[in-house]
Amino acid sequence: GGMERVFSTIPVFRAEKHNTPAHLNETIMLDAEIAFVDEQAAMDVLERAITFVVKKAEEKADELGIEIAIDLSFIPRITYDECIDALNKKGRDKEWGSDISREEERALGDEFGNAFFIYAFPTELRA
C-alpha cells in the first residue's frame, strides 16, 4: 500500500491443460500496477519496458551469434474500433462487439507491425 508504481516479474502457471504457442502452461510475466494514470500513460511505461527487454535480448543474441528481428521503433496504439475497421477492410466481415481471434490478431499484425496495443476494448467483452 502507498506505492504508486509496482512492477513484478513472476512465473505464471495455468491450471488447465492448454499448452499452445499462444498459451503456454508456464511463462514469465511482467506485471505493472500504476496508480493515477490514464491508459496512454500506462502504454508509455509498457512501451519503454518492452523496448528495453527486446534491446537486452538483441544484445545477448549478438553474443550468442543469433539474430532477433523485431522492430520496435514504433509501437502503434489502435482502438478496438480501428481493429474492427481494419479487419473489415481486409474482408473479414467483423461484427462490432465480437472478440478478436488469434488469426485476426495475425492479420492486424500484418497491418500494424509485430507489436501493437489495442485499447478502448468494449468492457462488455472484457472488463
Q: Which pLDDT tens digit goes with each residue over 49-93?
A: 888 888 888 889 888 888 887 777 789 999 999 999 999 999 988
Helix axis angle, 102-112 to 80-89, nearest 10°: 90
What is the radius of gyration, based on Cα positions, of the chain?
Answer: 17
Global pTM reads 0.75
Burial grade of 108 (CB within 10 A; 0-12, 13-18, 19 or more): buried
pLDDT tens by residue, 88-123 = 999 988 989 888 988 999 999 999 988 899 999 888
Rounded Cα–Cα distance for residues 32 and 5 (Å): 7
